[in-house]
Chains A and B, each alone.
Chain A
């Protein structure tokens, strides 16, 4: 079936890549100059490297620039990295709740505008337009999810229902009564909503009007997409972003669902080797690094996301020429090392969702017994997995353990726990409990 693609800003989203490079070069030069002149930390790092703003002539010279780390935002908290006077800042947004000192970012009016445009493009990518009713169940507040989706949908002229997170029964009631067509939330909450809707005996085909969802703020898998699409009878599109760069909308999926288009006229994505810090070519997996080129409040130069993914530059069926980033397959920092093997929770998730009758809710418990790392995978038991014989249940457990062993390379103990006993997170799902005293 031919898909109908909505493109919010075709001039930029479908731009000739040579033209794009010229625009990026120009904007990068301006950003570097602005940051060098106004942010002491950046100026110090440039000087240490012996790089002057004038050395940056084209976008290819980006590799000369120093990296920015999340710790820089903590150390310079709250206003140390601002490139604009405080009086020009019209908004503060912050990280979604990590421990310790928070991370905040300051937005000028221009930055809010840039971010809004990026989210508008993202929602349009999922088919959202003026006639749509957008239910936003991301939290509103410092977290960029709620306000970001809100602003983008408003820009498109859609009707916004600012539900914020939580209160699932009320979410479903409003969804049904108001006829929401677009859902914005985390993928784990979308799954939970779908399960609850089914448990209530509702049929999304008949009782709801949802057509698409824009899901982000945590990594998810292709299998999880299939499950959400079945549960809610919608197209499920991925959206990516981070407060440090702008918020959701840095990259987004169109209905082709073949990776997320990076809004390259506003941010330059790079993939680097996390160890050597060398830039890697397209189609090679590595750590994602972003440089903002239109932000004026708190520009970010070569910000290391620690997210692992791959960039693809071939043209998308939707007509956009913007580079696409593949799914985040892990994080360089929350990757767990078990018996010397790098394990990403997303790998285990992909095994679970492929197994018939297994719900995609899981918790990984890592421990160290007699100097050996152990991995326990807690999975919720479903009626499909259950039978009256012990042998059948043991078979299911052995099958899951075997699949994990072949995909991840680590022997895991599978524990079946009662349905709905694992925590459902309405923000980022906590999937790893590491009890090792490392």
Chain B
């Protein structure tokens, strides 16, 4: 029940985010979701692309001297109304799992917001959420968004 995310190291230099997005855009890579972690000295771009584009994206990034990695995250559907997110987070917290980061998709599906979650324990999070009837999307479903 995981989806693949690409993380890219970003130097804390003017124009570096534009360069990465331009590089991907020029190569027809469609970013479905994106977030940036920023620190004093560097940043990390995290993004989701269609599965069929992952390999190509990584190749392009490496060819241009970027450091990038693919890892698994969880994609959760959350009712698009107040308290929708906090209910899901409470379930995770009650299970004693912490969250490293979260961000959302640009587009919604029906009445749901689509959220990426990177918990400290991925498998157990999936188990907790399924037990409580929270809908999660797999890679094939993501690709359709």
A residues touching B (Cβ–Cβ < 8 Å)? Answer: 381-383, 386-391, 393-394, 415-421
Contacts and interface: CB of A to CB of B under 8 A. Distances in A.
Nearest to B118: A388
Given A388-B44, A389-B100, 4 more contacts: A383-B69, A386-B68, A390-B37, A393-B42
B65 A418 contact: yes
Contacts of B69: 383, 386-388
Interface string B1-31: 0000101010100000000000000000000
B7 A388 contact: yes
B83 interface: no
Name the 4 nearest CB pairs between A and B, nearest first: A388-B7, A386-B67, A390-B37, A389-B100
B101 interface: yes
B71 A388 contact: yes
Given A381-B67, A393-B42, A418-B65, A386 B118 contact: no
B39 A386 contact: no
B32 interface: no
Contact of A415 (B5, B9, B41, B44): B41
B65 A421 contact: yes
B5 A388 contact: yes
Given A389-B101, A391-B100, A419 B7 contact: no
B66 interface: yes
Main secondary structure on B side of the interface with A = strand
Contacts of A387: 7, 69, 71
A192 B105 CA distance: 42
A418 B11 contact: yes
A417 B39 contact: no
Contact of A390 (B5, B44, B66): B44
Contacts of B118: 388-389
- Of A383, A389, A420, most buried by chain B (CB within 10 Å of CB) is A389
A390 B118 CA distance: 12
Interface residues of B, number: 20
Contacts of B39: 390, 394
23 contacts: A383-B69, A386-B9, A386-B68, A387-B7, A387-B69, A387-B71, A388-B46, A388-B69, A388-B73, A388-B118, A389-B37, A390-B37, A390-B39, A390-B44, A391-B100, A393-B42, A416-B41, A416-B42, A418-B65, A418-B67, A419-B65, A419-B67, A420-B65
- Of A386, A391, A419, A421, most buried by chain B (CB within 10 Å of CB) is A386
Nearest to B11: A418
Contact of B7 (A386, A417, A420): A386
Interface in B39-87: 39, 41-42, 44, 46, 65-69, 71, 73
Contacts of B65: 418-421
- Of B5, B11, B44, B67, most buried by chain A (CB within 10 Å of CB) is B67
Nearest to B7: A388
Contacts of A383: 67-69
A376 to B, nearest CB: 11
Contacts of B68: 383, 386
A186 to B, nearest CB: 24
Given A382-B67, A386-B67, A418 B46 contact: no
A418 B5 CA distance: 21
A393 B42 CA distance: 10
Contacts of A389: 37, 44, 100-101, 118
A390 B67 CA distance: 14
A9 to B, nearest CB: 49
Nearest to A382: B67
Contacts of B46: 388
B5 A417 contact: no
A394 B39 CA distance: 10
A210 B9 CA distance: 36
